[in-house]
């Protein structure tokens, strides 16, 4: 199954069972592809900023991001499913974010980074 077919099936999944018979529009597919490319290129350029701290860390991070991206593609349909209006999901990510922020500042707030 090519990447294009995977994207089409993911879009159909997001749109719900009642639209299974309707064709996926070219606008939807091109938007998903554009969002995917934007996400990957932005994350890769952002990870390159780690060069200010350590070149070795940057290389490892870039290789890890590329590995995760290749194995998890397509990412945008999954992100869209996760970022919906569900209150449970929102609360989960809010509590997760609070934990991460508190941990980062508590243990690393004094770091000279």
Partner 1 sequence: MACSLIIFGWLYGSGLPPFHTIKSSVYSKAPLHGAALLQAFSVFTLVALGLIIIKIFAFLPFAKVFIIAISLAAMILSITMALMQTDFKRIIGYLAVGERGYIGIGLGLGTAYGITTGLFPAVNEAVITAFLFIGFGNVLYKTGESDIRKLGGMVVQTPEVALLVLLAGLALAGVPPLNAFKSKFMLIQASLNVGIPELGIIMILLSIVTFMTFMKAFYAIYMRPKPRDLEINSSKIPKSTIFSLVVFLIVCIILGLFPQIATSYLQPLANSLI
d(CA 45, CA 60): 14
The owner of tokens 């998890």 is: 72
d(CA 69, CA 48): 16
d(CA 33, CA 74): 9
Residue 76 sits in the site that holds partner 1 (CB under 8 A): yes
Quick one: which of 13, 42, 54, 55 contacts partner 1 (CB under 8 A)?
Answer: 42
Quick one: which of 13, 41, 54, 55 contacts partner 1 (CB under 8 A)?
Answer: 41
Interface size with partner 1, residues (CB under 8 A): 40
Give the torsion sign (CA, 27, 30, 31, 32).
Answer: positive
Residue 72 sits in the site that holds partner 1 (CB under 8 A): no
Please, what is the minimum distance in Å from the beta carbon of residue 26 to partner 1? Answer: 11
Site string for partner 1, 93-112 (x = CB under 8 A): xx-xxx--xx-xxx-xxxxx
Residue 31 sits in the site that holds partner 1 (CB under 8 A): yes
């Amino acid at each position: 199954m090519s990447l294009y077919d995977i994207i089409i099936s993911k879009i159909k999944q997001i749109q719900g069972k009642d639209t299974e018979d309707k064709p996926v529009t070219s606008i939807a597919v091109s938007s998903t592809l554009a969002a995917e490319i934007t996400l990957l290129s932005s994350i890769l350029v952002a990870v390159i900023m780690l060069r200010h701290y350590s070149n070795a860390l940057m290389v490892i991070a870039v290789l890890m991001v590329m590995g995760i991206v290749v194995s998890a593609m397509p990412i945008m349909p999954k992100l869209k499913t996760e970022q919906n209006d569900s209150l449970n999901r929102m609360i989960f990510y809010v509590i997760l974010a609070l934990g991460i922020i508190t941990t980062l500042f508590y243990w690393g707030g004094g770091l000279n980074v």
